Amino acid sequence: MATDVDIYVGKRLRRRHRLLGLTQQDLAGQVGVRFQQIQKYECGANRITASRLFALASALNVNINYFFEGLAADGKPAPANDSVDRLGGDILSQKETLELVRAYYRLGERPRRRLLDLAKALEGDGADTTVA
C-alpha cells in the first residue's frame, strides 16, 4: 500500500526525468530495471529501496535529498510548499515548459542571464498593461 511519502517521492522522480528529457525506458536502462518498475515507483505502487534511490539520484544528477524536499517531518507536504508544489507540478507537466527549460539550459551563462533579465522586464511590462 502506497504511503504519502512513496507517492511524493514518485512524483519528484517523474518530474525530474521529464525535466531532463529522459523517458521511463531511458531511466530504467541507467539503473538496471524495466520501465514498468519506473512506472510503479512514480505512482507509489512500489517502494524504492535506499540503494535504488541512490542510483536514481545519480542517474538524474541530483542529491538524494531532492526526493524529499518539501516534506514535513510527518511525511506530508509542508503547508508552505503544498500550493507551490501543486503549481510546479502542473507547470512542469506541460511540454512547452519542458522545452523552454531545456532550451534555456543549452544556452551559455551570459545569454541565460540576458534571457532571464528580459523575462523579468516583460513580467513587469505585463503588470503595467493590466492596470491600464
pLDDT at 21: 83
Percent with pLDDT over 90 in the chain: 45
Reported pTM? 0.66
Residue partners of 62: CB distance under 8 A and separation at least 6? 16
Residue 71 DSSP label? B
Residue 132 confidence (pLDDT) above 60: no
Domain ranges of the chain: 1-93, 95-126
User: What are the tens digits of pLDDT across the range 49-98?
Assistant: 999 999 999 999 999 999 999 888 777 777 655 444 444 555 666 778 87
Decide: 78 and 71 in contact? Cβ < 8 Å. yes
- CA dihedral angle for residue 114, residue 115, residue 117, residue 120, rounded to 10 degrees: 170
- Which is more confident, 127 or 48? 48
Higher pLDDT, 29 or 98: 29
Q: What is the mean pLDDT of residues 96-109?
A: 84
Using CA atoms, how far residue 58 sits from 31, 61, 65, 69, 129, in Å, is: 9, 5, 12, 16, 45
* Rounded CA separation 88/104 (Å): 17
| pLDDT, mean of residues 109-130 | 78
Could you please state the CATH topology (level 3) that the domain comprising 1-93 is classified under.
434 Repressor (Amino-terminal Domain) (1.10.260)
Beta bridge partners of 71: 77
